[in-house]
């Protein structure tokens, strides 16, 4: 390799890395600020009163929390981490993690702007909700959900090392806002390292693997789905803008594969997978990757083979 070629590759890597990081960092900040607000203004008792007691209903409620907390795949992780410490059931948290980057008002608007009212718009949210809820229900079958989380995210009554429940008198509003901002800032600097590493990995893969090599595999009903799922994982594009990026595939890729890109990408990419490692045990992250991957793939293949648009 010549020196000019290496310099060009490094320049490409730097450009892609900065693009991913700058796009994702504001949403991570939004998520950590929301995390601070949750910590200060929502008590564990309030959380337990809002979340249904029945396992299935609690999981369904978690899948639609994105309508209340409109965060992307970066911001949803610190928020969910804080909600777990407040007593949110693991299955609800899993459904929220996977669904919130799709089932939220900002993504509704961006997808409508890109595709208008039609099958892609509707099916993106139907598939997103279905895959997220299915995965959450699978996790709800675990007889000991606490074993899926890292110890620092368990509430104290479960034997974890999370913060103790505060029973002191409620301080003034200004003091509470200041405390929430301080907690959000600490959370941001704790999690931004995962975002940096994930962005670097995504940039390295985009630089080393030509997109033309991946796109050449996208002509068939099966290979097109796999190709765009791989591409979504590598590109690590924020869910608020990925609908516009997917427009480039409309004339060459199947509808099922485009839906796979729009559903699987917001749920899991390189940077969000690394962020998951700050919350869950490694084996759990593996299941969080495989179950949505296979579920999305099967639905997309069914659409390609049985639905004509």
Each domain of the chain, given as residue ranges in start order, spans: 12-306
Q: How many residues does the chain have?
A: 309
- Which token pair is 199? 């962005």
In terms of Cβ atoms closer than 10 Å to its own Cβ (0-12, 13-18, 19+), residue 41 is: middle
pLDDT band with cut points at 50, 70 and 90 for residue 59:
confident
Query: Of 162, 171, 146, which is closest to residue 281 (Cα–Cα)?
Result: 146
Please state the rounded mean pLDDT for residues 76-96. 81
Say whether pLDDT at 252 is over 60: yes
pLDDT at 230: 87
pLDDT at 45 over 70: no
pTM: 0.75
Q: How many Å apart are CA 43 and CA 41, to the nearest integer? A: 7
CA neighbours within 13 Å on the CB side: how many for 305? 9
pLDDT tens per residue across span 225-247: 998 898 888 877 777 777 877 87
Rounded-to-integer distance, Cα 177 and Cα 37, Å: 8
How much is the average pLDDT of 65-77?
75
pLDDT at 212 over 80: no
Q: Report the pLDDT averaged over residues 89-114.
A: 85
What six digits make up the tokens of 69? Answer: 């907390």
Separation CA 21–CA 3 (nearest Å): 27
Between 219 and 36, the more confident residue is 36
User: How sure is the predictor about 213, in pLDDT bands with cuts at 50, 70 and 90?
Assistant: low
CA distance 62 to 133: 8
């Amino acid at each position: 390799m010549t020196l000019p070629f290496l310099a060009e590759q490094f320049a490409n890597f730097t450009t892609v890395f900065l693009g991913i990081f700058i796009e994702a960092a504001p949403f991570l900040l939004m998520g950590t600020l929301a995390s601070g607000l949750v910590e200060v203004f929502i008590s564990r008792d309030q959380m337990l009163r809002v979340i249904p007691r029945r396992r299935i209903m609690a999981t369904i409620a978690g899948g639609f929390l994105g309508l209340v907390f409109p965060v992307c795949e970066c911001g949803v992780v610190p928020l969910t981490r804080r909600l777990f410490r407040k007593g949110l059931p693991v299955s609800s948290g899993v459904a929220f993690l996977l669904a919130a980057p799709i089932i939220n008002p900002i993504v509704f608007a961006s997808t409508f702007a890109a595709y208008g009212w039609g099958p892609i718009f509707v099916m993106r949210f139907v598939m997103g909700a279905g895959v997220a809820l299915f995965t959450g229900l699978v996790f709800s079958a675990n007889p000991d959900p606490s074993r899926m989380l890292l110890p620092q995210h368990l509430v104290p009554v479960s034997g974890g090392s999370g913060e103790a429940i505060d029973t002191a008198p409620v301080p003034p509003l200004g003091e509470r806002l200041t405390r929430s901002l301080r907690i959000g800032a600490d959370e941001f600097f704790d999690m931004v390292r995962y975002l940096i590493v994930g962005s670097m990995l995504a940039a390295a893969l985009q630089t080393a693997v030509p997109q033309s090599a991946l796109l050449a595999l996208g002509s068939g009903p099966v290979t097109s789905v796999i190709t765009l799922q791989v591409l979504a994982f590598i590109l690590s594009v924020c869910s608020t803008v990925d609908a516009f990026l997917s427009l480039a595939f409309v004339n060459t890729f199947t509808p099922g594969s485009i839906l796979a890109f729009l559903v699987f990408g917001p749920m899991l990419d390189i940077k969000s997978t690394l962020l998951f490692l700050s919350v869950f045990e490694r084996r759990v992250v593996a299941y969080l990757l495989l179950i949505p991957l296979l579920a999305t793939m099967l639905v997309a293949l069914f659409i390609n083979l049985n639905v004509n648009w």
